Amino acid sequence: MNSEFSHSRDFQKALESLSGLEFMQKIAHGELPQPPMGKTLGFRVVEADSGKVIFEGEPNSSHYNPIGSVHGGFASVLLDSAMGCAVHTKLPAGIFYTTLELKINLVRAIQENTGMLRATGSVIHCGRRTATVESRLEDRSEKLYAHGTSTCLIFSD
């Protein structure tokens, strides 16, 4: 993990003291840093509301697999990130989550000329120990490229 991201006292304090929604909104508004994974793969949080988070990422040739299209992992990481962070927006300060189960359907090939993609994660149910969530990966004209569902485990006190 990027040492600036993981060792920032302000960041750690924010993670522990802000609700999940406040925390994700601060990332979306640039008040907290984007997660290092996003920098590595070229995607970022752009919007966060209660039960909903949107990530954007633009595929490029560095995301290609050996057969000449964007690797399915690019779509998967965008969808998983949007889903997990959508769950985070429903949690109080100091309560965290992790992906327990992930199902992704890739419905259209992604190429470097596909352009900007948006992954929208939306909470279906958020209980005390688990949450279920769904997501869609679409281009600017709302053409669907992939969709998914997930179950997240909530670490409650």
82-96 pLDDT per residue, tens: 999 999 999 999 999
Q: How many residues does the chain have?
A: 157
CB 91 within 8 A of CB 146: no
Secondary structure (DSSP) of 72-134:
HHHHHHHHHHHHHHHHHTTSPTT-EEEEEEEEEEE-S---GGG--EEEEEEEEEE-SSEEEEE
CB 148 within 8 A of CB 134: yes
CB 13 within 8 A of CB 26: no
DSSP 68: S
Domains in the chain: ranges and CATH: 3-155 (3.10.129.10)
Rounded to whole angstroms, how far apart are CA atoms 26 and 91?
Answer: 15
The model's pLDDT over 50-89, given as tens digits with 9 standing for 90+, comes to 999 999 999 999 999 999 999 999 999 999 999 999 999 9
CB 137 within 8 A of CB 118: yes
Least confident of 7-21, 106-120, 136-150: 7-21
CB 81 within 8 A of CB 41: no
Bridge partners (DSSP) of residue 117 are: 57, 139
pTM above 0.95, yes or no: no
